[in-house]
Amino acid sequence: MILHGADDVLKLDASAVDYGLVALYFVFVLGIGLLARRQVSTSLDFFLSGRSLPAWVTGLAFISANLGAVEIMGMSANGAQIGMATMHYYWIGAVPAMLFLGVVMMPFYYGSKVRSVPEFMRRRFGTGAHLTNAISFAVAQLLIAGVNLYLLATIVNALLGWPLWVSLIAAGAVVLTYTALGGLSAAIYNEVLQFFVIVAALTPLTIAGLHRVGGIGGLVDQVEAGPAGDTMLSSWPGEALTGFDSPVWSVIGIVMGLGFVLSFGYWTTNFVEVQRAMASNSMSAARSAPIIGSFPKMFIPFIIVIPGIIASVLVPQITQLKEGQGDGSVTYNDAILLLIRDLLPNGMLGIAIAGLLASFMAGMAANISAFNTVFSYDIWQQYVRKDKPDNYYTSVGRVATVVATVVAIFTALLASGYSNLMDYLQTLFGFFNAPLFATFILGMFWKRMTSTAGWAGLASGTIGAVLVAVLSEDALGPLSIGAIPLSGQGASFVAAGAAFVVDIVVSVLVTFATQPKPEKELRGLVYSLTPREDRVDPDEHLLPWYRRPTRLAGISLVLVVALNIIFH
Amino acid sequence: MSSDEKSPSESIRQSADAQDARAVRAFDIRTIVGVLLGIYGVVIFIMGLTASDADLEMDAGFNLNLWTGVALIVVSAGFLIWVRLRPLVVPRPGADADEAHLE
């Protein structure tokens, strides 16, 4: 996602009232940081909110942490470009994995009292897999925080005309202030606030857009009359998404590649997400967090993807782009910004700018709060300074937050010069993620799986994914040689699939050749060695239905299937 | 590693004197969301009321500020009523720790 430099096309006509509404938002953000500081007395308070938050808060933070610049700009761009098939990123590529995390995996994460996902890795497989996982995760977070910050700065530059370096430092300073003061509580509370402001900005935008095109019927008519025709209106088989010619393979690619390997790898093992659920106040709340999050997650595309589709018929620049007559002044990534420019009056405009800035900052804050936890607990405490008093690690976390922010600012500056490089680096770190789900799921359900199998499976899975990417047409840019005819999303689905299969095969083979860990060390980490009372709240049957994770997951699953049928 | 075994609410209990109790109440995220959305709602509602005909032209005759303002005020009221009806129970030293949780 590259946004062009300062260009007057996107310049918004913000008034004093709009600036006032944005400023008010910043007062709230910093106020939350100051208030949250008063609740920090142990390192667990700082890194995991003292495991004290209710499920609806951690559930909203769970999806909000992901609702950053890449998501809002990128998914509305997909909506403008390929239409309803974009819904798969939510209904197939997120909701099932979130439900799986809550129902199946969270009992092990929360019940074993680990403080991070890499720490689970260390308890289950020892230090070999742990060190690699902790370092690759920490470095990837710095990189992504930098990319988020860069996007934020380019958007502030385009919308308000601030120079790049001013917005980089201003945004960096705001994020630093509240995460260093209040730790995870401040980050989570801001994510919840951000969620409501984004919804308050994008819902009226969608309604105004629909009103302008003549309602849903008018939108359907205009899209059908457009260059892409009615392929934009159906989500299945989604060839535009996968880049596959065959509809059958496209469906298989979406279900297995996006729905299974990629999304399960991301949602169930990414500590940025899991950390939010770990901050919950009880086992049933921790399990409910991703499940509660799945409800807004399945409906939020209606105010992100649909505006993209509306922009494709309503905004002249995007319409020209679709007809292949764009003059290069805008890209699909600008779709939602152009719609905001054309539809929102002053007042609403201020709320929309506040919402966008909020979401971009929250994305960066999420990366930084996950980074400082993994750095302090998994790298510093484990390998550098072991037996210090607890408040020492809180200080380490604060220092790590400062350093991470400075690094992110420099990464953002680097990204402004070499944006392709950033894309490839992100793809590369994706390869470390691809096999994680295979190792976790085997490790949780197969007590014999050995420590050696843990790191060997991860390493070979990563190599498998890199190999597919190199052989594909464009997954790694100039490094790809084009030996197999795969490109775009299709290539990353196949790469992730290869990582999964190779990881499983290698893990199984290595396990039979090596010695398993003693069973007493695996209690709480492996299904068959964890008594039921460790996995489920003993009084869960006393809770009302809306607080019982499995009931909620069932309702969510029915709803997401219904959405797929209605909008096929 | 000592914090590892600590029960989640111990730290809250230790610091729960009267002053902190007030801070916890002000720090209820429902209050924060309710107040921010409420201020936003009132501001754009007023902007909608005072909109000129030219402004309405841009909206194609549909006063977006006014109606969004009304919706935000209603949602804000919902949050603040929720806080009133189910207030955050602040734990006293020695009280049952489970009451510390937001409902």
Q: How far apart are CA A316 and CA A322, in angstroms?
A: 10
Distance of CA A306 to the CA centre of its chain: 20
Give me the pLDDT at residue B90, please. Answer: 52
- Going by C-alpha positions, the residue among A283, A281, A268, A287 that lies closest to residue A549 is A287
Q: How far apart are CA A309 and CA A305, in angstroms?
A: 6
Of B32, B55, B103, the CB nearest to A28: B32
Give me the pLDDT at residue A4, please. Answer: 44
Band the pLDDT of A86: cuts 50, 70, 90. Answer: confident
Residues of chain B with Cβ-Cβ distance to A343 below 8 Å are 64
Residues of chain B with Cβ-Cβ distance to A54 below 8 Å are 101-103
Distance of CA A213 to the CA centre of its chain: 32
Tell me how far CA of residue B76 lies from CA of A1, A57, B30, B42, in angstroms: 35, 17, 9, 10
Contact B11 A281 (CB under 8 A): no
Of the candidate CATH numbers 1.20.1730.10, 2.20.28.10, 3.40.50.880, 3.30.565.10, the domain formed by A16-433+538-566 belongs to 1.20.1730.10
Contact A115 B8 (CB under 8 A): no
Give me the pLDDT at residue B97, please. Answer: 41
Residues of chain A with Cβ-Cβ distance to B75 below 8 Å are 196, 200
Residues of chain B with Cβ-Cβ distance to A189 below 8 Å are 27, 29, 32
Give me the pLDDT at residue A95, please. Answer: 92
> In the numeric block, which tokens belong to residue A292?
């509660």
Residues of chain A with Cβ-Cβ distance to B65 below 8 Å are 345, 347-348
Q: How far apart are CA A186 and CA A29, in angstroms?
A: 8
Give me the pLDDT at residue A427, please. Answer: 73
How many separate helices (H) and strands (E) can be counted in chain B? 5, 0
- A188-233 pLDDT tens trace: 888 999 999 999 999 999 998 888 888 888 888 887 777 767 677 7
Contact B64 A345 (CB under 8 A): yes
Residues of chain A with Cβ-Cβ distance to B8 below 8 Å are 50-52, 281
Q: How far apart are CA B96 and CA B93, in angstroms?
A: 9
A490 vs A143, residue with greater confidence: A143
Residues on B contacting A at a C-beta cutoff of 8 Å: 1-6, 8-9, 11-12, 14-15, 20, 23-24, 26-27, 29, 32-33, 36-37, 39-40, 43-44, 47-48, 51, 55, 58-60, 62, 64-65, 67-68, 71-72, 75, 100-103
> In the numeric block, which tokens belong to residue A458?
């991860």
Contact B60 A53 (CB under 8 A): no
Q: How far apart are CA A420 and CA A31, in angstroms?
A: 37
Tell me how far CA of residue A363 lies from CA of A63, A246, A358, A499, in angstroms: 10, 36, 9, 27
Residue A129 has pLDDT above 80, yes or no: yes
Instruction: Give mean pLDDT, residues A115-128.
Output: 87
> Which residues lie across from A53 on neighbouring strands?
A280
Task: Report the share of chain A in percent with pLDDT over 90.
Answer: 13
Q: How far apart are CA A553 and CA A22, in angstroms?
A: 37
Please give, rounded to a whole number of angstroms, the shortest distance from the CA of A355 to a CA of chain B: 12
Instruction: Give mean pLDDT, residues A228-253.
Output: 73
Residue A303 has pLDDT above 90, yes or no: yes
Instruction: Give mean pLDDT, residues A70-74.
Output: 84
Instruction: Give mean pLDDT, residues A552-562.
Output: 89
Q: How far is the first Cα of chain A from the last one, in angstroms, to the nearest whole number?
A: 28
Q: Which residue of A has its CA nearest to B48?
A: A347
Q: How far apart are CA A66 and CA A87, in angstroms?
A: 16
Give me the pLDDT at residue B10, please. Answer: 42
Torsion over CA: B86, B90, B92, B94 (sign)? positive
- The answer to whether A38 and A49 are in contact (CB under 8 A) is no
Rounded to whole angstroms, the maximal C-alpha distance in chain A is 70
Q: How far apart are CA A437 and CA A499, in angstroms?
A: 10
Of A45, A211, A212, the CB nearest to B11: A45
Q: How far apart are CA B15 and CA B23, in angstroms?
A: 11
Q: How many residues does chain A have?
A: 568
Contact B8 A50 (CB under 8 A): yes
- A362-417 pLDDT tens trace: 888 888 988 988 888 888 888 888 888 888 888 888 888 999 999 999 888 887 77
- Going by C-alpha positions, the residue among A323, A222, A39 that lies closest to residue B88 is A39
Residue A290 has pLDDT above 90, yes or no: yes
Contact A347 B36 (CB under 8 A): no
Q: How far apart are CA A284 and CA B92, in angstroms?
A: 24
Per-residue pLDDT of chain B (103 residues; tens, 9 = 90+): 334 444 444 444 444 444 555 555 556 888 899 999 999 999 999 988 887 766 666 655 678 888 899 999 999 999 999 888 877 765 544 434 444 444 3
Of A25, A113, A347, the CB nearest to B43: A347
- The answer to whether A373 and A41 are in contact (CB under 8 A) is no
Give me the pLDDT at residue B9, please. Answer: 44
Tell me how far CA of residue A326 lies from CA of A219, A318, A329, A330, A410, in angstroms: 22, 8, 7, 8, 33
Three-class SS state of A141: helix
Give me the pLDDT at residue A532, please. Answer: 76
ipTM entry: 0.84
A551-560: long-range contacts, CB 8 A cutoff, minimum separation 24: A552/A288, A552/A291, A552/A292, A553/A99, A553/A102, A553/A103, A553/A291, A553/A294, A556/A95, A556/A99, A556/A291, A556/A294, A556/A295, A556/A298, A557/A95, A557/A96, A557/A99, A559/A295, A559/A298, A560/A91, A560/A95, A560/A96, A560/A294, A560/A298
What are the b/e assignments for A129-165, b being 16+ CB within 10 Å? bbbbbbbbbbebbbbbbbbbbbbbbbbbbbbbeeebe
Residues 6+ apart with CB under 8 A from A214: A221, A222
Please give, rounded to a whole number of angstroms, the shortest distance from the CA of A22 to a CA of chain B: 10
Torsion over CA: A134, A122, A96, A273 (sign)? negative
Q: What are the helix (H) ranges across A8-94?
A: 16-37, 43-48, 55-64, 69-82, 88-91
- Cis amide bond preceding A237, omega within 30: yes
Of B20, B40, B64, the CB nearest to A21: B40
Three-class SS state of A280: strand
Contact B2 A390 (CB under 8 A): yes
**What's chain A's Rg over C-alpha atoms?**
23
Which helix or strand (DSSP H or E) is residue A439 part of?
helix A436-445
Give me the pLDDT at residue A296, please. Answer: 94
Domain ranges of chain A: 16-433+538-566
CB pairs under 8 A between A and B: 119
Contact B33 A25 (CB under 8 A): no
Distance of CA A263 to the CA centre of its chain: 10
Residues of chain B with Cβ-Cβ distance to A382 below 8 Å are none
**What's chain B's Rg over C-alpha atoms?**
21
Q: Which residue of A has its CA nearest to B76?
A: A196
Contact B62 A115 (CB under 8 A): no
Q: Crossing angle of helices A348-373/A69-82, nearest 10°?
A: 120
- A158-184 pLDDT tens trace: 777 888 888 888 888 888 888 888 888
Q: How far apart are CA A411 and CA A422, in angstroms?
A: 9
